[in-house]
Amino acid sequence: MVSVAQEAQRALNIQPPKIKLKARRLKGHKDSTNCCIASSQNPRLIVTSGEDGRVCWFDLRCNDEPRLTMDVSDESILSLCFKSGNEDNIYVSSGKEIKCFDVRLAAAKWEPLENYNYNKEEINKVTCNSRSSFLAAADDSGEVKIIDIKQHCLYKTLRAETGHTSICSTVEFLPWRSWEVVVSIQLLCCGNSPKLAPTK
């Protein structure tokens, strides 16, 4: 007769079946890829950006070739994000500039709907808040620029309150408080944890 403890031990030792998934290599970039985002409205849509200044849209139900290719810059594209609530619009950061494109206006030469050039250094991450009212851009100078995308102007600059040189590598809006951001600052010197403070 099997005890309850033995039965429980046997149940704990059961391994789930191993599923072997074949890796896919998506084609489309001429150089290395810097950023990859997934659509929340279309779960099989992936968008990538690369060193070649190209943005590729992939439908994972199809083959490994991009569904749409956008050559939008001569510089590398480090970050991209969808406009919240309208994933036909995409924000692309290249160097110190952010450009917005509408993919429904597919063309041989892509012209941006909006341009923002407020950052002092190369932008590492760009993100849109859930209400599609603000865009945040983190850059190598350690600053985060908050851009009002409805008024098309700079709303605020956030900077670390330390005397050290730092890089702001990423930024995200809090989903439950769409007016607040979380940032990651990499200090290049030893010191206290930095605090962000708005500047004029």
Residue 183: which residues within 8 A CB-CB, separation 6 or more?
138, 144, 158, 168, 170, 171, 172, 196
DSSP string, 59-76: ETTS-SS-SEEEE--SS-
| Residue 14 to residue 28: CA distance in whole angstroms | 42
Q: What is the pTM of this model?
A: 0.79
Residue 108 confidence (pLDDT): 66
Residue 91 confidence (pLDDT): 96
Residue 173 confidence (pLDDT): 85
Extended strands (E) in 51-176: 54-59, 68-71, 77-83, 86-94, 97-102, 114-116, 123-128, 134-139, 143-148, 153-160, 166-174
Is the distance from CB of 46 to CB of 37 less than 8 angstroms?
yes
Task: Tell me which architecture the domain covering 27-117 has in CATH.
Answer: Beta Barrel (2.40)
* pLDDT tens series, the chain, 200 aa: 666 667 766 766 766 667 777 777 888 889 899 999 999 988 899 999 999 999 999 998 888 888 888 998 999 999 999 998 899 999 999 999 999 999 888 776 788 999 999 999 999 999 998 888 899 999 998 889 999 999 999 999 988 766 556 788 888 888 777 666 777 655 443 333 344 445 44
| Residue 170 to residue 136: CA distance in whole angstroms | 10
Is the distance from CB of 168 to CB of 143 less than 8 angstroms?
yes
Q: Could you tell me the residue ranges of all domains in the chain?
A: 27-117, 124-200
Q: 């709907």: which residue's tokens? A: 113
Residue 195 confidence (pLDDT): 46
